[in-house]
Structure formats: structure tokens, C-alpha cells
Structure 1
Amino acid sequence: MTDTVIATYWVESALPLQRAAEQMAGEQSTGTFIRVARETDELRARFAAQVVSIEEREPSGRQPLPGATGDPAAIRGGLVRLAFPLDNFGPSIPNLQAAVAGNLFEMRDFASIKLMDLDLPRPFADRYPGPAFGLEGTRRLMGRDTGVMIGTIVKPSIGLSPEELAEVVAELVEAGIDFIKDDELQANGPHSPLRDRVAAVMPVLKAHADRTGRMPLYAFNITDDLDIMRRNHDLVLEAGGTCVMACINMVGLAGVDWLRRHSQLPIHGHRAMFGAVSRSPQVGIHFRAWQKLARLVGVDHLHTNGLHNKFYESDDEVLAAIAAVREPLLGGYGVVPVLSSGQWAGLAHETYAAVGTTDLLTLAGGGIHGHPDGVAAGVASMREAWDAAEHGEPLAERASKVPALSRAIETFGR
């Protein structure tokens, strides 16, 4: 096997960057802190990670990571690319992670070290089937062939009884929503068990489908220990549900892959806890690298955040995340970008202008549930704003004809 994985890192170190890169390569392949007897030149030639390139740049000037050694005044920064022989670990995502990340973040010679990108060889496509539904399957199931897909998160996030949840869902489906999801905090607790929520929600969805011929997707949160998650999936499937949600970082990438191979429903991939591995610019895994792995293991929808969100990412970072998710990966692995966090109707024009597509699932929580005229007006404001954006009609012009949109601007535009 001659295939290699190319991993790109942002590195800062008081060591010369060539030496720092060689330490990284050795630590994550054949080496240890000293050359050992059986680490022959022949073995190293076949199995050692290799330094592909070093692009020196200005260091960030940030305080070094805790425990970092070396003179802070001597710190250099740059992008380091390493090649890892696939012979070392095979097309296995858990073992790939051990190779390209593993102990790197703990090495004391680094003031900063972050995995920025991964270039993966064809054997990963041979092993991992990827999304089963993707964009086309999602549109088909929800009956929304064109235009942006409008969705929401159940609010309040937790605390509703199954009966109260059914009332909220009835209002949303009557308003023309395309997609509803459990909040990631709504699990399978004793107050509102998944079985009871499914029993309450599915008759509402089915009755709406009987009347209209169209059933919005409801992503029930099935995240749990693997054996329970499988039973949760089967519960939703047997009740006629058409989508499940898994929190990727809570069940792990291997857990999502395990679910994908069993699932007969689209998997809505939530990235909760992602900030723990990516928020720091000095350590962790960048979204660009992480999203490739999430797509490989088979999520059909993947959260990217949205413009002007309430979290840490800048608008430029959000747009880069949306673009990354839409890039072909090993010839496919198309997923639906999910825009969320602080979304409302007034962001449609800016988002559409920046992204240039309506192949998006945009989720408005407060932007729908917090509309002063109710959830139907909230959904209408989102639909009208996106339609105006797509057809080149200014927001104010459309709002002058649509009271729900005008009221949304009055409420959220402040």
C-alpha cells in the first residue's frame, strides 16, 4: 500500500520549524525520544511520517500553550504538512486520528499546534459509504424540491411534555415548516422519554401528510450509548419517522459510522461540543479537517453555524465552513449545510449573497418561536425573506407587502 494521508498543521515553536516538524513526524510514526535498535533506515523509509513542506509565517504573538518550553522571543510560526503512510493504520478513521493528532497536542516544544486540514486517499472512500440521503434524499423526503429549506429547533429546548410538544409541532407544520429538530439537550430522560415524544409527534405529522401530501422532517435526538441509540433509531423508524439526530462528538465518529451502517433514515449531524476541540486558534482540530471525517462516517446534514451567530466564529469562518461542507470529497459525500444560531429572516439576503445557493437548511429557533405574532408568522417571515433574496427583491420592498416579515424586522432587527 503506497497511499498517504497529508495532514496540514499550524505550528508555533521556539525550535527551528524543520526540527519541530521532524519531531512531529517522529512522534506520530516510528520514532521516540531516542533512536532505538530496530528503527532501521529501511523501516523508517517505509513507515516514518515525512515532512512534505514548511511555509514559515509570522507567529501569532499569543501566549504559549500551558507547559510549552523554549524562549518565547524565539518562537516561529508556520504551516507544516506531513505525509503519513496509509500502511501504518489503514483506512480507519479512529486510527487515522491517533496518527495525525494523537499525542501532538501534548508536546511541550509547541507553543501552538492545530490540525488544519486533511487530504485523504481513495481507500477511505472504499471503506466508508458516507451519507445515505444527502441533499437529494432530504429534499425528496420533506417535499421541498427547490429553495432554501426552512427549519426550527423545538423551543423551549427542554421542559415541554410530549403533549405540549405535539401542540408546538402542529402549529409549525400548519405554518409550512420543512424541518423540526429536537434540541441537543432534549434527550431520553424520565420527564419526556423519546418513546412518548415519538408517540405524540408522529400522529400530528402523519395527519398533516394525509391532508397535504407532504410531511416535514422531524429529527428526533437518538444520541445515547450505542445499543440504546440503535433501539432509538428503530423506535423512530417503526413509528414512521423520517429523520434522526445524533450528536457527533458525544457518540464519536466511529459511533456515527456504526449508526450509519444500521440506519434507514437521514442522520442530522449536530456538532455540539465542537468548540472544545476547535475554538482555540492554538490547539485542536479545525472545522475544515473535522468536517471531512464527519461526512465520511455518514451524516446527511452537518451544522456549520450561520452569519451573525451567537457563538465564537466570525462570519468569514462561517462562510468558510459552509464552503468546505459543499466541496466534493473523494468524488462525493455531499451533505446539507445546516445554518443555525441566531438566525432570522433579516439574514437571508446577506447569506444568499455570500453563499450563492439555496441548497441549505437554515434553522431559526428564536427567529420563529419568538416572532411577536406567533410561529406561523415566524415561518412566513423566513420563507418570504429567502424567496425575496433568491429573486433579487430587496428585503424592505418585500417587507412592505408582508406584515409577518415587517414585524420580524421590527423585533429582531434591533
Structure 2
Amino acid sequence: MDVVRATYEIETALPLEATVATIAGEQSTGTFVAVRGETERLTARHAATVESIDELPPSGRPPLPGASGDWSVARRARVRIAFPLHNFGASLPNLLAAVAGNLFELREVGALRLIDLDLPMAFADAYPGPGFGVQGTRKLVGRESGPLIGTIVKPSIGLSADELAALVREIVEAGIDFIKDDELQGSAPCLPLAERVRAVMSVLKPYADRTGRMPMYAFNITDDISRLAANHDLVLEAGGSCVMVCVNLVGLAGVHYLRERSELPIHGHRAMFGAFSRSPQLGIGFTAFQKLARLAGVDHLHTNGIANKFYESDEQVLASIEAVRRPFLGGYHILPVLSSGQSAGLAHATYAATGTEDLLVLAGGGIHGHPHGSAAGVRSMREAWAAAIEGESLDARAARVPELAAAIDKFGRR
């Protein structure tokens, strides 16, 4: 029998084994009281099974609101539960109903977090995953090796179409590989998607005609699901080479809907991820999340970057990058996207820690905030990463590249 194995970290002030049994029952055959029809035969076929309980030291954190019991005797554990696949089938929405569902509301737990999922091959049969991935993206961008150097449109909102086109022209001429809309840019009245596409492509197409290479621009097409296909087609028909969607805002089913229709790489932004991941006591961890996003069909996925401006530690970020790069169900290879406070001074530390060139490194302020302008910011990033890969020190390269030296003075180093 195929099963989905879900791994959780829980904390409870009630008897640990009984609490875990409650979790398994709540998400399969059980309810708060025995009911007619709950036969031994039905339970044997459909009940979730507790496979392991590995006790951990108590966290020392207070319980979630409404938790039962005397928290002074709380126990914490890592738990693995197996859910029969025939309860819900190879369906991402229904998978989440089974392994998450109402769990976060149980009084029995004062902390509960889904940290990993082990899925059977039935999900690979149902979901094709990324259409382009690492190699397909590299081919479209025209860069066979080295990290892809990218940026985000800044200011994130407020630019006119002409101002956007001028910014894109500057950084394209400087050799950028990738540009993306901000997650705040959808199809707003101040600059609708169609107008934004026209402005950007009026720069990219002539550049491609002249050079034979077109940088990838990820247009944010996040919208109601009923508009995703039309938004994608708008970009495709204009000659664009990438669309961006906020995974958590359209949902996994929305991403899959887009993937089934997309002829372009899908850049997966994780906006709102912190809402269900930041607390160590509640929610879904990145290891589980990235598997679901890869199945749904993203080709790139934001992992955050080291020394970032948000809450995650370098250790957490590096674990996320490693998780995205790890083969899953025999494939599903996608690009980790490093962002948040990135600049040239982080290249050597990032390369040393990740050991890979298969990265999409985005610097927003680290490029547009360069004291000599955005083009100088692009060159500083390119030179820093080239030095890191070639084994040249940051200082040695900066001594020869004024743009890199200015970036280090402005943004610092690691």
C-alpha cells in the first residue's frame, strides 16, 4: 500500500503517545468520540499509522493559545506518521488536507510544525513538475555556467512605463542575466501588466536582435486563477521568456493550473512564506514547502540568501538551498533563488557555503543602490562572483575593478 509519510515536530503537556495518536486519528478515520461505522476493518485500511516518536529536549517556549495541560511538564518530539494514499490520492490540495488540515488547531498540542514529506511515485505520475528547470533556464538566458546574476525592479512600484524601460535598458546593456518584477507589481492601475510588458519588450527584443541573447524578465502575472492563463499568453505573445507567480497567493492548485498551460519558465516567489513558517512552534517548514512547489511546477524558487534582511539565519538559508537542489522523486531540478539584502560582498561566502554555480542571485538594492548607478551595480556582482569561482580574493579583484570596490565600500562584505 502506498503511503505518504509526514514528519512533524510537536510539543504537548498531555501524554505524548496519546497526543500523537490523536493527531493520526484526527487526520484520518477518527473524531473526538467513537462513532457508528468505525469498524476494525475500516480503521485497518484507512487509519493513519504512527511510525516513530523521537523525543527531543523541551523548547522552553510558551504554548500556543488554547493548549491543554500543565506546560511545566511539556514534552517535545519529532514524529513520523504514515497516511494511506488511497485516502486522498495524488492531489496536492487533498494531500495538504490530510497532513496539515485541522492539526494546527488541536488543543492537545502547544506546538506543531510539518517539517518534511516523503511522497510516493504516484505524485510524480500526476505532476510533471518544472518544465524548464536549471538547464532550460540556462539555455534561454544564454549562460551555460556560473551563477545567473539578476535583479528586481526598484523602486518596486511607482515607475512609469518610460522610466521602467530606461531602467531595463541600463541594466541589460550592463550584462544582467535576469530581471524580475517585485511581488508588489501585479496588474495595477498605475502600470497595468500589458503596459509593463510593452515597455520591457521594447527594450529586450532590439537588444536580442543586436546581440543574439535576451536576458530573462520574469513578469509577475499573479492574479485570480481565472486570469493566469490570459496573463501568461500576454507575455508569451509579446516574446517574453518567463512569468512569475507568488506560490502562496495563488495556491498550489493555481501554480499547477498555470504549469499545465505554460510555455514559459515559472519563477516561484514565496511571498507570505513567513506567515506560516517564521514561528518555530507552528506551520510548515521550507523542506516540505519546496517539495510541494516543485511538484506544482515552478522552475525557480526563492530560498532567501545569507546575511539577509529578514529573519532567517545563514544556517536556515543554506539548508533551504540544499533542499531545493536535492533530487526529488527522481528529478524536479529547479534553480534556487537567492535574494534579500544581497550584494557583491557576499559572493565569496555564498559560493564557499553552497559549493555550486547553479544559483540565481538577485540583488535589488545591491545593484540599484550602487553609488555609481545600476549598471555599475551589475558589474560589481558579476566581478565578485567571477572572482569567487576563479579563486581570486575579493580584495584583489576590487583593486582592479572600481565598481566592485565601490560596492564593498557601500554595502560591506562578509
Per-residue Cα deviation, 1:204-235 (whole angstroms, up to 9, x for no partner): 10111111110000000000011212111000
Q: TM-score if structure 1 supplies the norm length?
A: 0.99
CA distance in 1, matches of 2:144, 2:15: 55
Instruction: State the SS of the aligned residue for 1:341.
Output: coil
Q: Could you say which residue in structure 1 is the equivalent of 2:154?
A: 155
Give 1:95-244 correspondences, 5 Å limit.
Answer: 95-244=94-243
Q: Could you say which residue in structure 1 is the equivalent of 2:326?
A: 327
CA distance in 2, matches of 1:42, 1:80: 25
Alpha carbons 2:14, 2:68 under 8 Å: kept: no
What is the aligned residue count? 413
Per-residue Cα deviation, 1:219-276 (whole angstroms, up to 9, x for no partner): 0000001121211100000000000000001100000000000000000000000000
Per-residue Cα deviation, 1:254-313 (whole angstroms, up to 9, x for no partner): 000000000000000000000001010001000000110000000000000000001111
Percent of paired sites with the same residue = 68
User: Which amino acid in 2 is paired with 1:300?
Assistant: D
Instruction: State the SS of the aligned residue for 1:269.
Output: strand
Instruction: State the SS of the aligned residue for 1:400.
Output: helix
Q: Does 1:406 align with 2:405?
A: yes
CA distance in 2, matches of 1:42, 1:256: 38
Q: Could you say which residue in structure 1 is the equivalent of 2:292?
A: 293
Instruction: State the SS of the aligned residue for 1:354.
Output: helix
CA distance in 1, matches of 2:239, 2:179: 15
Q: TM-score if structure 2 supplies the norm length?
A: 0.99
CA distance in 2, matches of 1:351, 1:24: 40
User: Which amino acid in 2 is paired with 1:397?
Assistant: A
Q: Could you say which residue in structure 2 is the equivalent of 1:55?
A: 54
Q: Could you say which residue in structure 1 is the equivalent of 2:339?
A: 340
CA distance in 1, matches of 2:289, 2:198: 35
Unpaired segments ≥5 residues, structure 1: none
Q: Could you say which residue in structure 2 is the equivalent of 1:313?
A: 312
Q: Could you say which residue in structure 1 is the equivalent of 2:66?
A: 67
CA distance in 1, matches of 2:142, 2:204: 13
How far the C-alpha of 1:16 sits from its partner, in A, is: 2.0
How far the C-alpha of 1:391 sits from its partner, in A, is: 1.0
Instruction: State the SS of the aligned residue for 1:264.
Output: coil
How far the C-alpha of 1:163 sits from its partner, in A, is: 1.0
RMSD: 0.7
How far the C-alpha of 1:34 sits from its partner, in A, is: 1.1
Q: Does 1:87 align with 2:86?
A: yes
Q: Could you say which residue in structure 1 is the equivalent of 2:251?
A: 252
How far the C-alpha of 1:37 sits from its partner, in A, is: 2.1
Q: Could you say which residue in structure 1 is the equivalent of 2:360?
A: 361
CA distance in 1, matches of 2:285, 2:16: 21
Per-residue Cα deviation, 1:303-361 (whole angstroms, up to 9, x for no partner): 00000001111000000000000000000001100000000000000000000001000
CA distance in 1, matches of 2:36, 2:373: 73
How far the C-alpha of 1:203 sits from its partner, in A, is: 1.7
Q: Could you say which residue in structure 1 is the equivalent of 2:264?
A: 265
CA distance in 2, matches of 1:40, 1:226: 41
Instruction: State the SS of the aligned residue for 1:334.
Output: coil
CA distance in 2, matches of 1:330, 1:186: 34
User: Which amino acid in 1 is paired with 2:283?
Assistant: G
